[in-house]
Amino acid sequence: MKIIPKRRFGQHFLTDRHYIERIVAAIAPRPDDTMIEIGPGPGAITAPLLARLHHLHAVEIDRDLAAALRGRFAPEQFTLHEEDVLEFDFAKLGGHFRAVGNLPYNISTPFLFHLAGFAEQLIDGTFMLQKEVVDRMVAAPDTHAYGRLSVMLQYRFAMEHLFDVPPDAFTPPPKVDSAIVRMLPLPADRLRARDDSRFAAMVTAGFGQRRKTLGNTLKPFLAAAQIEALGIDPKRRGETLSVAEFVLLADVEPEIKL
């Protein structure tokens, strides 16, 4: 059965043996790992992972690919979940798990936010994404790539940009470079806001209008005087704030308006 990449799923299949080997080496699977592969496609990474694991889970939405994978790999070693990964309940894997995959570019950001909801069960994640997205994930404050994605993921994970993957490693070649990133959940004693939803809302507001100052963007949450009382200049912009500074702001009680 010939597998043809489908544009609606943003499919670009990794075919370069050199990069397949580098990715599997970076993942370093151990036989007893509970591991799930996101978007296995034709199985380029699936096969070498299964050579090292007792069992592998995978999530694939494409019916044709799912049928091909079931015909290729034995069910006692390979469990395929044929569903949308954006709706997948990782808790049903039971206990802690490792996640890997070549993420379709058109769902990478919503997937990362979905996965963050299972961070307490996640051991680590090793993913291939568009390089621009990886740059944003690992960006430092006051840099061009730093934004809401940077803050929200760095609030929950330590991340490392491992290496880049060129377009010609794929079929068909994408129009952009890709990169491999490793995500490690931060420990239970990590810095965290008293109210995660308030923190998330303030981060969203802080980056909603990048040219505006904190005194303007955070006005629905805090007065300029409250921001200044924390030692943060309300004339600064959201992209200059560290994760710790956003937490500091989120923990301030809003003024009571009578």
pLDDT in tens, 212-237: 999 999 999 999 999 999 999 999 99
Rounded average pLDDT over 8-36: 88
Rounded to an integer, what distance in angstroms lies between the CA atom of residue 255 and that of residue 24?
52
Mean of pLDDT over the chain: 92
Q: Supply the pTM of this predicted model.
A: 0.90
Q: Is the pLDDT of residue 257 over 60?
A: no
User: Could you check whether 7-185 and 196-250 share the same CATH topology?
Assistant: no
Q: Is the pLDDT of residue 256 over 80?
A: no
Which residues, listed in sequence order, are joined to residue 130 by a DSSP beta bridge? 178
User: Would you list the DSSP string of 176-229?
Assistant: S-EEEEEEEEPPTTS---S-HHHHHHHHHHHHHSTTS-HHHHTTTT--HHHHHH
pLDDT digits (tens, 9 = 90+) for 97-155: 999 998 887 889 999 999 999 999 999 999 999 999 999 999 999 999 999 999 999 99
> What pLDDT sits at residue 178?
95
- Each domain of the chain, given as residue ranges in start order, spans 7-185, 196-250
Rounded average pLDDT over 230-253: 96
DSSP state for residue 2 in the 8-state scheme: -
The architecture that CATH gives domain 196-250 is Orthogonal Bundle (1.10)
Matching CATH number, 7-185, of 3.40.50.150, 2.60.120.10, 3.30.465.10, 3.30.450.40: 3.40.50.150
Which residues, listed in sequence order, are joined to residue 165 by a DSSP beta bridge? 178
- Sign of the Cα torsion 128, 133, 136, 139 reads positive
